């Protein structure tokens, strides 16, 4: 931990600039997927076409020119972003501010489902279906529940604990896609049957955390079965494809980081070393395939672009969480952070979204960029 603290202190100024920016924004902002929040587009006949909704969403996501003001896309609170801010604020011992965001999230949970759940603050169009604003999903619910548990652990706030327990009830009641005697797979959202490993492993780690806290052996067994399902899906080189569909066979940086951190935390909470070999081999694959020497992130294991700030943030968090497994961890976390600050932090404090060979997308997305780097730099600078 002494080494981690020495590394972190050199990035205090970068965190302070980002913190000032996010506070000035009130932790609100735009999202790279929020194009369908455009008042102009929603009130036009074009909104009725699934194909045009998809094209509009992807155009806003990919364009380096921010058209949100012109098309009247409002800034808003993103539940997953707020969760990451809470985790960062707790790490920095800013408990009163964290509790303010907890109260905000408690008023943003989705209705119509058992337990407590959260989704995104925008409609989202995929190739196959439209997900309306407020539809609950596993990833957002897991991140919010973990943030609630982080806050409860440091403040003793009972409301935060109850919200996290409600999140587990939602996941178990609404998102089990498959279960047999030895495995479970959790889905992304109600009604969606796609099997994605980072989703399944995030749920498994949360259930194990709550089982450790409450002594609920049923939660622990469910979590073990879910983790077993996704560990079995590792490839012979100890990488994971993103998901099981034919178009989900890519291997990318930040989802791999999710998987590794979830596996490490599961074994920590379960007090088992069941998949220690898989964790070590998977982490070495991550170290070997996703980073240039100077700390610049690769998006895919075999491709550099787009250089994405989300990969940098998750890289810092992954190296810190798995630091005991490799002496490369702290030096790499420092290089990743230094590269991100030098190449992706604006003079006003926020972080850019993506860098391509010919241009940089500098739009200040609150969830994808600011919340993730806030969480990563808070951990790095606080030694937690």
Tens-digit pLDDT profile for residues 313-332: 999 999 999 999 999 999 99
**b/e sequence 337-363, b meaning 16+ C-beta within 10 Å:** bbbbbebbbeeebbbbbbbeeeeebbb
Nearest by Cα to 373 from 7, 1, 21: 21
| pTM listed for this prediction | 0.95
Kind of pairing, strands 124-125 and 130-131?
Answer: antiparallel
The least confident of 6-10, 178-182, 254-258, 260-264 is 6-10
Mean pLDDT of 208-232: 97
Q: What are phi and psi of 268, to 5 degrees?
A: -65, -50
User: Could you report the per-residue pLDDT of 27-76, keeping only the tens digit for each?
Assistant: 999 999 999 999 999 999 999 999 999 999 999 999 999 999 999 999 99
Whether 4 has a pLDDT exceeding 60, the answer reads no
| 190 three-state secondary structure | coil
Q: What are phi and psi of 354, to 5 degrees?
A: -145, 155
User: Could you report the per-residue pLDDT of 132-190, keeping only the tens digit for each?
Assistant: 998 999 999 999 999 999 999 999 999 999 999 999 999 999 999 999 999 999 999 99
Whether 18 has a pLDDT exceeding 50, the answer reads yes
| Contact by Cβ (8 Å): 344, 355 | yes
| Contact by Cβ (8 Å): 101, 85 | yes
The conformational region for residue 216 under phi > 0 = left, psi -120 to 50 = alpha, else beta, is beta
pLDDT bracket for residue 126 (50, 70, 90): confident
Percent of the chain surpassing pLDDT 90 = 93
Distances (CA, A) of 93 to 148, 154, 321, 354, 366: 15, 9, 19, 30, 21
Residue 134: predicted pLDDT: 85
Residue 323: predicted pLDDT: 97
The least confident of 98-102, 198-202, 243-247 is 243-247
| Torsion over CA: 120, 121, 126, 128 (sign) | positive
pLDDT bracket for residue 294 (50, 70, 90): very high
pLDDT bracket for residue 9 (50, 70, 90): low
């Amino acid at each position: 931990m002494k080494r981690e603290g020495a590394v972190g202190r050199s990035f205090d100024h970068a965190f302070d600039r980002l913190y000032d920016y996010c506070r000035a924004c009130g932790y609100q902002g735009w999202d790279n997927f929020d194009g369908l929040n455009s008042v102009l587009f929603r009130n036009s006949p074009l909104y009725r076409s699934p194909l045009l909704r998809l094209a509009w969403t992807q155009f806003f996501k990919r364009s380096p020119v921010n058209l949100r003001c012109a098309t009247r896309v409002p800034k808003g609170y993103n539940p997953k972003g707020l969760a990451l801010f809470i985790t960062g604020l707790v790490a920095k011992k800013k408990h009163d501010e964290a509790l303010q965001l907890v109260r905000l999230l408690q008023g943003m949970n989705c209705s119509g489902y058992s337990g407590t759940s959260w989704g995104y603050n925008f409609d989202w169009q995929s190739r196959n279906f439209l997900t309306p604003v407020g539809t609950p999903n596993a990833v957002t619910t897991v991140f919010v529940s973990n943030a609630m548990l982080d806050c409860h652990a440091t403040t003793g706030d009972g409301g935060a604990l109850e919200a996290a327990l409600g999140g587990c009830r939602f996941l178990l009641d609404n998102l089990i896609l498959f279960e047999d005697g030895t495995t479970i797979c959790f889905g992304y959202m109600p009604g969606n049957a796609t099997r994605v490993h980072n989703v399944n492993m995030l749920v498994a780690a949360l259930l194990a955390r709550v089982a450790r806290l409450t002594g609920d052996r049923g939660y622990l067994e469910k979590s073990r079965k879910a983790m077993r399902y996704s560990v079995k899906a590792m490839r012979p080189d100890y990488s994971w494809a993103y998901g099981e569909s034919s178009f989900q066979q890519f291997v990318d940086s930040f989802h791999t980081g999710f998987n590794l951190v979830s596996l490490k935390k599961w074994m920590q909470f379960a007090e088992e070393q069941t998949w220690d070999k898989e964790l070590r081999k998977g982490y070495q694959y991550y170290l070997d395939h996703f980073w240039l020497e100077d700390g610049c992130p690769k998006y895919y294991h075999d491709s550099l672009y787009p250089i994405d700030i989300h990969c940098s943030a998750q890289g810092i968090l992954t190296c810190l969480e798995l630091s005991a497994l490799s002496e490369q961890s702290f030096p790499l976390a420092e290089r990743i952070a230094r590269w991100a600050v030098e190449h992706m932090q604006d003079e006003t404090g926020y972080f850019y979204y993506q860098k391509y060979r010919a241009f940089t997308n500098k739009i200040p997305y609150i969830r994808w960029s600011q919340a993730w780097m806030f969480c990563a730099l808070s951990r790095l600078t606080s030694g937690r």
